[in-house]
Amino acid sequence: MSVEENQTLDKVQAFSSLVNETQASVRAFVRSIGVASDAVDDIAQEAFLIAFKKFHEFDDSKASFRTWVFGIAKNLFMNDKRKEARRSRLQNQMIGDMLLKLEAPFKDHRQDEIKTLKSCIESMDDDNRDLLKNRYVNNKKSHELAEETGQKPAAVRQKLLRLRAILKKCMGEKLS
């Protein structure tokens, strides 16, 4: 066996030993930071995979292996949260854009989405439909809608946020 192969084997054995010692605590940590129970193993496994790839960077004088993997897992979780928040913002923006275009003739590849959105809007009560129409078709701002409804602008914005979430869920169910 060459020196290089021997060093690789030593690295794998050392890493394997550290994983065996820390895997339960890493999974517990991942769960404790708010990862859904069905995703804990995925995040922990991905953290160990990254740790293995970067094992040459690990410095036990700066932190324990466990702490180092905790940091990797936390970064993975935070990256997932940022991606999900961005995806949600984009979906809300898309729904808002589609609402703005409902009155205009629509002849592109989103025809099914528009029909589904209209169906979801039609299933809402009159007050919610009117609020959506006034905001996205008539382009009224939240402060204008608040004056008309006797509510605070923040309450109107919150209601619009909830209505967009309801529409998103409805569209997801009907399009899947």
Task: Per-residue pLDDT tens, the chain, 176 aa: give them.
Answer: 776 766 667 778 888 899 999 999 999 999 998 888 888 899 999 999 999 999 888 888 999 999 999 999 999 999 888 887 777 766 767 777 666 665 555 455 567 787 888 889 889 999 999 998 888 888 888 888 999 889 998 898 899 889 888 988 888 888 87
| Contact indicator for 52, 68 with CB cutoff of 8 Å | no
Q: Which two tokens stand for residue 112?
A: 């099914």
Check residue 70 and give its pLDDT. 94
Distance between CA atoms of residues 99 and 160, nearest Å? 12
8 A C-beta contact, residue 95 and residue 168: yes
Q: What is residue 15's predicted lDDT score, i.e. its pLDDT? A: 86
Looking at residue 51, what is its pLDDT? 94
- Residue 153 has a pLDDT of 86
pTM of the model: 0.50
Contacts of residue 102, defined as CB under 8 A and 6 or more positions apart, other chains included, come to 114, 117, 118, 121, 136, 137
Identify the CA nearest to 141 among candidates 123, 128, 154: 154
Q: CA-to-CA distance for 110 and 35, rounded, in angstroms?
A: 34
What's the confidence (pLDDT) of residue 108? 55
How far apart are alpha carbons 118 and 96 in whole angstroms? 13
How many Cβ atoms from other residues are within 10 Å of residue 51's Cβ?
22
Q: Which domains does the chain have, with CATH numbers?
A: 3-83 (1.10.1740.10), 101-175 (1.10.10.10)
- Token couple for 154: 């923040």
Tally of residues, the chain: 176
Q: Which of 87, 69, 83 is nearest to 33 (CA)?
A: 69
